[in-house]
Amino acid sequence: MRIGDVVKTAGAEGKEKHVPFIEVGKGKGEAAADVVHVVVGKEVPHPNTVEHHIAWVSLYGVKQDGQIINLGRTDFAPAYTSPNVRFQVPVDQFKAFCAVSYCNVHGVWENCLEL
């Protein structure tokens, strides 16, 4: 077995949504910074209880030469913080972003956004 065998994608979704949605916001003006926004349950909120919640989200960037950069991870406090996070990232240095989320009941999920 390989880790890729157990990581789920959009095709495995049921009524509860787990695939991390990714969108990129380009900074405008001198002080503005680029942002990568990752949210689980954008349209249908995922349950957020101690018994069933999204525990963390990780974001990776894929550079032009294929190198993978670990851009960050956010852990969530069930019932208090929702899986909705923004990472300040120099977007122009990447050709794609991939996010991974972990639900304590339904496992590991992934999604990528190619720029």
Provide, rounded to whole angstroms, the least separation between the CB of residue 7 and Fe ion.
14
112 is catalytic: no
Catalytic, out of 13, 52, 95, 98: 52
Provide, rounded to whole angstroms, the least separation between the CB of residue 17 and Fe ion.
9
- CA distances (Å), 19 to each of 4, 38, 58, 71, 111, in order? 15, 10, 12, 18, 6
Reference 99, options 42, 23, 35, 46; nearest CA is 23
17 in contact with Fe ion (CB under 5 A): no
- Is the Cβ of residue 32 or residue 105 nearer to Fe ion in the bound state? 105
Catalytic, out of 8, 37, 42, 46: 46
103 in contact with Fe ion (CB under 5 A): yes
106 in contact with Fe ion (CB under 5 A): yes
Measured CA to CA, the distance from residue 89 to residue 96 in angstroms comes to 12
Mark the segment that binds Fe ion (CB under 5 A) among 3-11, 22-30, 67-75, 106-114.
106-114
Measured CA to CA, the distance from residue 25 to residue 9 in angstroms comes to 23
Helix (H) or strand (E) segment spanning residue 40: strand 35-40
On whether the CB atoms of residues 8 and 18 are closer than 8 A, the answer is yes
What residues line the site for Fe ion (CB under 5 A)? 103, 105-106
User: Which residues are tagged catalytic?
Assistant: 16-18, 46, 52, 103, 106
